Copies of this chain bind each other. A is one copy, B any other.
Amino acid sequence: MPSDVSRITSVDTYDIRFPTSRELDGSDAMNPDPDYSAAYVVLRTDADDEHEGHGFTFTIGRGNDVQVAAIDALKHHVIGRPVGDLCADPGSLSRTLIGDSQLRWLGPEKGVMHMAIGAVVNAVWDLAAKREDKPLWQLLADAAPEWLAGQVDYRYIADVLTPDEALTLLKRGRDGAAQRAVNLRATGYPGYTTSPGWLGYSDEKLTRLARQAVADGFTQIKLKVGADLEDDVRRCRAARAAVGDGIRVAIDANQRWNVDEAVEWTRALAEFDPYWIEEPTSPDDILGHAAIRQAVAPTKVATGEHVQNRIVFKQLLQAGAIDILQIDAARVGGVNENLAVLLLAAKYGVPVCPHAGGVGLCELVQHLSMFDYVALSGTTADRVIEYVDHLHDHFADPVRIVNGHYVAPSAPGFSAQMLQESIDTYSYPDGAFWTADRAAQEQEARA
C-alpha cells in the first residue's frame, strides 16, 4: 500500500497581501486601514494522489511576515511525518506543536506562535479531508465520537470539561445526525452579513447595502460602532429604518472601549434594539465582559474572534460573561482546539456564531458550524455565521450564499485552497500586483 509509506515532503509558506485598505473594506473603530492578508502554508507529500494540505493565518497587513516566520519555525515537526498517521490523528501533531517546550515560551498558546500552529494543524485537516474525499464538516460529522473526543486537548479545561463529558456530548450529537445532514444539504446554514456596516461607508451606502441584505434573504446584519457616538446613533437609526423591526441588527465595537464606556455607549444605542454588542472591550477581560453583560441586558454580549485559546473561552463561559460565543477558524490552534471550544459551548448551551470575513475565514469556519449543527449541538437556533462578501474569488472552493444561507460545501477538504494565480499575484513584496504597485508609486513620485 504505497499511501501508507508516503510522507510530508515540504511545508511551503507564502506571504500574501491584498490591498483592501484602498477601498475601506473592513474598516472599523480599531482597524481603520486593514490590508487583508494571509500567512499561507501548503503541505506537500510524496503520495501518488497529489493531494496537498492548505492552511493559513489571517492578518491585516504588517506583520504577515512575522507570522510566516512563525510557521517556518514549525516545519521541522512536520516534514517527514507519515501522511497516513498524521491524517488519522491530527491531534498528535497538534500536541507536538503546542508541546514544543522552547517555542511554547513565546506564548504559551497565544498570539503569533499559536496562530502559526493553527495554520499548520488546519492544513493537516484539509489534507485529511481530501484523502477521505469528504468536505471537512462531513468528515467530522461522520467520525466516531470516541475518535473525536480523542482529538481534544483537555489540559487546562478538564476542571470544566472531562473527556467523559465530551464523549457524552458527542454521542448525544449523533441522535438525528443523518436527518440534519439532509437538512443542511437542502437549505444550508444561516448567515448574517457585515457588508453594510463598515465604518468607512457613507450612510447612503449603508442604507443601500442594508436593504440589499434583507432582499438577499439575510435575517441579521451587523454595524461597526465605537469611533463616534453621534455617528453611531445616526448610523444605527439609518440601519434600523432600512431593515425594519423583524431583522436583527448586531453592533460591533472591535474592543474600542473600557468597561464603563462599553456600558454607557451600548445603553445609548439601546433604542435601536441591537441584538448583540460584539467585542465591547479587550478580549482578555473575562471579568470585564461579565460586568458589561450584567449592565447591558437584554442586549446580548458576544466575543471570540480575538480570544486566544480554549482556556479563555472556558472562563468566559464559567463567568457567565457572554451570550454568544464567536469562534474564529484561524485564531486558536486549529480544528482540534475549536473542537474543544465547540464542546465547551455545547456544555453551557451557549450559541456559537462564528467570526468570519477577512481572507478565507468564511471558507474555513462554515465547516465547523456545519459539523456542530449535524453532530454536536444539533441546532441552528440563534446561530448564524458571519458573511462578508469580499475576496472569495481567490479561493478554489469559495463559499456560496443562497437566500442568506451558507450552502454546504461538497468538495473534499477544508475549502482552504487559494488559487495559484492569486498566490502569484498578491505575494508580498514580489508578486505581480505589488511589483506593479511599487512601479506606479515610483512613477508618481517622480512626476
**A residues with CB within 8 A of B:** 30-35, 59-63, 65-67, 69-70, 73, 100-115, 154-156, 158-159, 255, 258-260, 281-288, 291, 306, 308-309, 311-312, 314-315, 318-319
For A35, give the chain B residue with the smallest CB separation: B102
Whether the Cβ atoms of A33 and B63 lie closer than 8 Å is no
Nearest-CB distance from A447 to chain B (Å)? 25
Given A62-B73, A66-B70, A113-B66, verify A306-B159 contact (CB < 8 Å): no
For A292, give the chain B residue with the smallest CB separation: B159
Residue of B102, B255, B259, B319 near A287 (CB, 8 A) is B319
Whether the Cβ atoms of B113 and A156 lie closer than 8 Å is no
A33 to chain B: which residues have CB within 8 Å?
101-102
Whether the Cβ atoms of A106 and B110 lie closer than 8 Å is no
Given A113-B112, A258-B158, A285-B156, verify A66-B308 contact (CB < 8 Å): no
A108 to chain B: which residues have CB within 8 Å?
255, 282-283, 306
Residue of B35, B107, B311 near A111 (CB, 8 A) is B107
Residue of B35, B102, B283 near A63 (CB, 8 A) is B102
Q: What copy number does this chain have within its complex?
A: 2
Whether the Cβ atoms of B258 and A155 lie closer than 8 Å is yes
A61–B104 alpha-carbon span in the complex (Å): 10
Nearest-CB distance from A435 to chain B (Å)? 21
Q: List 24 A-B contacts (CB under 8 A).
A: A31-B101, A31-B104, A32-B101, A33-B101, A34-B101, A35-B102, A59-B102, A62-B100, A62-B102, A63-B73, A63-B102, A63-B106, A65-B73, A70-B112, A106-B111, A108-B282, A111-B111, A111-B112, A111-B114, A156-B282, A156-B285, A159-B260, A285-B311, A286-B287
A110–B314 alpha-carbon span in the complex (Å): 19
A342–B211 alpha-carbon span in the complex (Å): 51
A255 to chain B: which residues have CB within 8 Å?
108
Nearest-CB distance from A388 to chain B (Å)? 16
A347–B32 alpha-carbon span in the complex (Å): 35
Residue of B106, B110, B283, B285 near A315 (CB, 8 A) is B285
A319 to chain B: which residues have CB within 8 Å?
287
A69–B287 alpha-carbon span in the complex (Å): 34
A35 to chain B: which residues have CB within 8 Å?
102
Given A62-B73, A281-B156, A285-B156, verify A67-B106 contact (CB < 8 Å): yes
Whether the Cβ atoms of B69 and A101 lie closer than 8 Å is no
Those 3 A-B pairs whose CB atoms lie nearest each other, nearest first = A111-B111, A112-B112, A61-B102
